[in-house]
Amino acid sequence: MTEKTAQEKVGELTREQVESYLRAHPDFFIDQDELLRSLTVPHDSGRAISLVERQVHLFREQRDTLRRELVELVSIARHNDRLFEKSKRLLMQVIEARNLQDMAAAIDDSIRGDFGLDAASVLLFSDDQGLPSQGALHVVNRARAQSRLGTLLEGDRAVCGQFHENEREFLFPDRDEAIASVALVPLRHEGLVGVFAVGSCQTGYFDQSMGSLFLSYISDTLSRLLPPMLKRHTAGGAPVSSLTAETGQG
């Protein structure tokens, strides 16, 4: 092969072929110090730098990116830890509640005080018209709730967003300051028993991208505790001292 033919052959190489070759032979530049020093690439500053300098620059960028991601992960972990502690305190108070009034007060105090939100609401479905709503707890007819909330009752997971005005008013009645955004999760245990919702007066506070792990964690517990407590309440409002025995827990 003549030198001219060899040059023509080299000229036929594409960028993709060179890249493929270097990827297949990552040790190509070993013992090629002079070649590395002679290769240059453009830099953001406008000057050309050696391939080694470029590689060092990339490693520093990757290091800084990983450092930022680590800081963000640590921040998320601390935030989740605080949420867990708040959720734990709320659930302990709910479990220790002896009647619906105590439970409603515990939920309202925790959501507004500990979590710093503007409103909490537990809609418990019952056809008993003699059950009064109190605090965060609202006893409503299921058919009426279905007509006002519609598809919000269909899923198992939390739904976050601004919701329609009539939905927000139904979830949080008798409020002087309107709720602007809501996180809602159906209460399900052997069927739909109600809904648990928290609200904020800040528009966009809750959106579809938000995680709902702790909200679902709380709602799973409420969905199991509320029906037997409601049953006892309708039977005469007796304290729920034997709730664990009735629900098979313990």
Beta strands in 110-249 (DSSP E): 119-125, 137-140, 159-161, 181-188, 192-200
Q: What is the pLDDT of residues 211-220, one digit of tens each?
A: 677 888 888 8
Model pLDDT, residue 103: 84
Pinpoint the alpha helices (H) of 25-50.
33-38
Least confident of 20-24, 38-42, 121-125: 38-42
Residue 238 has pLDDT above 50, yes or no: no
**Could you state, in order of their start, the residue ranges of all structural domains in the chain?**
16-96, 98-235
Beta strands in 117-217 (DSSP E): 119-125, 137-140, 159-161, 181-188, 192-200
Name the pLDDT band for 84 (thresholds 50, 70, 90).
confident
Name the pLDDT band for 240 (thresholds 50, 70, 90).
very low
Residue 8 has pLDDT above 80, yes or no: no
Least confident of 30-44, 119-133, 149-163: 30-44
Model pLDDT, residue 241: 35
Q: For 33, phi and psi rounded to 5 degrees?
A: -60, -45
Cα within 13 Å of Cα(51), Cβ side: 9
Stretch 64-85: mean pLDDT: 89
Residue 58 has pLDDT above 50, yes or no: yes
Dig out the tokens for 48 from the structure: 């050309």
Model pLDDT, residue 67: 93
CATH number of 98-235: 3.30.450.40
Please list the residues that pair with 159 across neighbouring strands.
Answer: 184
Neighbours of 198 (CB within 10 A): 28
Of 44-48, 142-146, 152-156, 227-231, which has the strongest mean pLDDT?
Answer: 142-146
Please identify which residue in the block is written with the tokens 């199991």. 224
